[in-house]
Amino acid sequence: MSVQVWTWILVGITFTLYFGIAIWARAGSTKDFYVAGGGVSPLANGMATAADWMSAASFISMAGLISFMGYDGSVFLMGWTGGYVLLALLLAPYLRKFGKFTVPDFIGDRYYSNTARTVAVICALIVSFTYVAGQMRGVGIVFSQFLQVDINLGVIIGMAVVLVFAFLGGMKGITYTQVAQYCVLIFAFMVPAFFISMQMTGNIIPQIGMGGTVEDGTYLLEKLDTLHTQLGFNEYTDGSKSTWDVFAITLALMVGTAGLPHVIVRFFTVPKVKDARKSAGLALLFIAILYTTAPAIAVFARTNLIETVSNNSYKEVPEWFKNWENTGLIAWSDKNGDGKIQYVNGSATEGKPKYTGERGVNGERLVANASSTENELYVDRDIMVLANPEIAKLPNWVVALVAAGGLAAALSTAAGLLLVISTSISHDLIKKQIKPDISEKGELWAARISILFAIIVAGLFGIYPPGFVAAVVALAFGLAAASFFPAIILGIFDKRMNRQGAVAGMIVGITLMLVYMIVYKTGLIGVMEPRPKEEWWFGTSPEGFGTIAMIVNVVVSVIVSRMTSAPPSEVQDIVEDIRIPSGAGEATGH
């Protein structure tokens, strides 16, 4: 059967499973909708947390980033996995002991202030919307390539799917759907890795195969280093970032992970404090399966790309190359007229690449904004995982399986983020501030209407992505690090931290991060281009600036809190109590 038929079959089966779970686990109360009734087992919660965390960025983009960045890509592995260690040790058990529905709920009650709650809601919305926009666009890209539909139609289909299991089930439906999605995405990620590792190195375990030898007895990484240097790139195993920037990016990703509201809320769904610890440990184990495999897939894909495409004529390139040209995510322009694809160090385009839909004299699909460098090939990093099975000539069902896995990864994270947006509006704004006397039924309907609103906005971002969305998604971690993490960690471990300090710190931190992102990463569309890296503060990239913004947040919070009155004694007693994570009441949200 063709790839398209296999894709329809596998996607149809998985979507039917998701819908069935959503109907079975539909929420009947606000507790079901917000925290899945507080009765999720550590194993199920660990799998759901892993699926919630491993978004389209992890499944589709991370191996692609490592494939092109080489050693420099290791910061993503260290930062994202390290964040779960922080969660397990410093946040999960204490937040579960506090027993609230949401991060803004914790901040509002811990800092005895609706102003603090409102600032936390705004931060949650900024982080969640920037993150979810990329997920919806990822869904559109996968549908576009494998189901042969328009990208915008793919986004709409994705919106409809998420709406069903999020609208009906809330956190309860999303949790058990994410368990199924974890199984789908991890199977889809690992099967091609096993095949390709065996094919290239004779070892079925990808993590070992990456360090193994190829047919001529050369180590695979040594061969890739040689291919790189021949094309004018740095050696694949050498880094180009400064030690400080590596540290800053890694720490920003770590504390950003530990501050992401859609991840933290998962630890409110288990019955006991010890279950929160177990969930975090199991989630780290489940995530490590994919994260330790991603570098191997990156090496396999990079080697195959160079060997099958570089310096070949268009007639000699494999069929996968021509298939992906139709998406505009891979293209080339024969600048020297020799009929061969020259893939060398340098950008193939200037500014934002744009697929023209036209063919050149040698049959190439042209890409606009071609630069003056010798590099003739443009490859979007996001295609490396999706195209990898085709590059390695694996069976069609494996190619389709990867498509189903990519959709599972994008949809699971999108659902978690949309629920955060929904609960921030219905619980933290409406229930806690605007209309405290709202009935439980009314609050449940407010939550469902909020999630409908959030899905529509997220879908619009996917269909009409602003020029900065793709760049900002990776910086959602910096935003979380700059805003939430200090307020949460100081709220747990510093009795003297008061509402004035927390509010000042969050406002200064997230504002500083947003300004730095705009100036040095995204620019202001039509007004200002991003400033060059030579002007970075202290040599810190925008991806790593969350570390500096977080430090500023902590300093401001501590100074302001010491210059103002101490928290009430009952709040200080609560802080003392949650530091002893033995036993916990139910998550009530009250």
Answer whether residue 78 is part of any domain.
yes
Same-domain status, 358 and 219: no
pLDDT at 468: 47
Q: What is d(CA 503, CA 121) in angstroms, rounded to the nearest whole number?
A: 12
Quickly list DSSP for 175-217.
HHHHHHHHHHHHHHHHHHHHHHHHHHHS-S-HHHHTTSB-TTS
> How would you classify the pairing of strands 349-359 and 365-370?
antiparallel
pLDDT score, position 28 = 61
Distances (CA, A) of 167 to 38, 237, 268, 486: 19, 46, 20, 32
Residue 61 lies in a domain: yes
Are 144 and 154 in contact by the 8 Å Cβ rule? The answer is yes
Q: Tell me if 310 is assigned to some domain.
A: no
What's the domain range around 83? 23-304+393-465
Q: Are residues 230 and 133 in the same domain?
A: yes
In a shared domain, residues 363 and 459 = no
Identify whether residues 360 and 214 lie together within a single domain: no
What Rg, from alpha-carbon coordinates, does the chain have? 24
- Does residue 81 fall inside a structural domain? yes
Claim to verify: residue 299 and residue 362 sit in the same structural domain: no
pLDDT of residue 170: 66
Domain ends where: 421, 441, 465? 465
The pLDDT score that the predictor gives to residue 357 is 55
Residue 474 lies in a domain: no
Is 0.85 surpassed by the pTM of this model?
Answer: no
- Predicted local confidence at residue 555, as pLDDT: 96
Taking CA atoms, 487 is separated from 257, 483, 523, in Å, by: 14, 7, 28
**What CATH number is attached to the domain comprising 125?**
1.20.1730.10
Buried b (16+ CB within 10 A) or exposed e, 163-194: bbbbbbbbbbbbbbbbbbbbbbbbebbbbbbb
Q: Taking Cα atoms as reference points, which of 432, 550, 416 lies closest to residue 490?
A: 550
Positions of E strands within 405-559: none
Query: Which of 481, 81, 137, 559 is closest to 281 using CA atoms?
Result: 81
DSSP state for residue 88 in the 8-state scheme: I
Q: Are residues 298 and 432 in the same domain?
A: yes
Of 432, 448, 465, the residue that ends a domain is 465
> Is there a domain that residue 266 lies in?
yes
As a whole number of angstroms, the distance between CA 62 and CA 41 comes to 29
Shared domain check, 427 and 298: yes
In a domain, 226, yes or no: yes
| 129 and 235 together in one domain | yes
| Cα(409)–Cα(56) distance, integer angstroms | 5
Token pair in block for residue 418:
């949309």
Task: Please give the DSSP secondary-structure letter assigned to residue 348.
Answer: S
- Residue 336 carries which DSSP code? S
pLDDT tens, the chain, 590 aa long? 777 788 888 888 887 887 787 777 666 666 666 665 567 888 888 888 888 777 766 777 778 778 888 888 778 888 877 877 787 777 777 777 776 667 788 888 889 888 888 888 888 888 887 777 767 777 777 777 666 677 778 788 877 877 776 666 566 777 788 888 888 888 888 888 898 898 888 888 888 888 888 777 788 888 888 888 877 777 777 777 788 888 898 898 888 887 777 777 777 778 777 787 788 888 888 888 888 898 888 888 888 888 888 777 777 777 778 777 766 678 777 777 777 887 777 766 655 555 555 555 455 555 555 555 677 777 777 777 888 888 878 888 888 888 888 777 777 777 777 777 777 787 777 777 787 777 877 877 887 788 788 888 878 877 776 544 445 566 778 888 898 889 989 988 888 999 999 999 999 999 999 888 888 776 665 556 667 777 788 888 888 898 999 999 999 999 999 999 988 988 888 888 777 655 455 555 55
Of the three residues 465, 483, 503, the one that is the final residue of a domain is 465
Task: Please enumerate in sequence order all residues whose Cβ is within 8 A of that of 37, keeping only pairs 6 or more positions apart, or say none.
Answer: 29, 31, 172, 269
CA 277 – CA 287 distance, rounded (Å): 15
Same-domain pairing of 369 and 443: no
Query: Cα separation of 187 and 425, whole Å?
Result: 35
Looking at residue 364, what is its pLDDT? 53
Residue 519 belongs to a domain? no
253 and 561 Cβ atoms separated by less than 8 Å: no
Claim to verify: residue 340 and residue 225 sit in the same structural domain = no
Cα–Cα distance measured from residue 550 to residue 555, given in angstroms and rounded to the nearest whole number: 9
pLDDT of residue 351: 54
One domain for residues 251 and 295: yes
Q: What is the pLDDT at residue 469? A: 47
Say yes or no: 165 and 80 in one domain: yes
The total of structural domains in the chain comes to 2
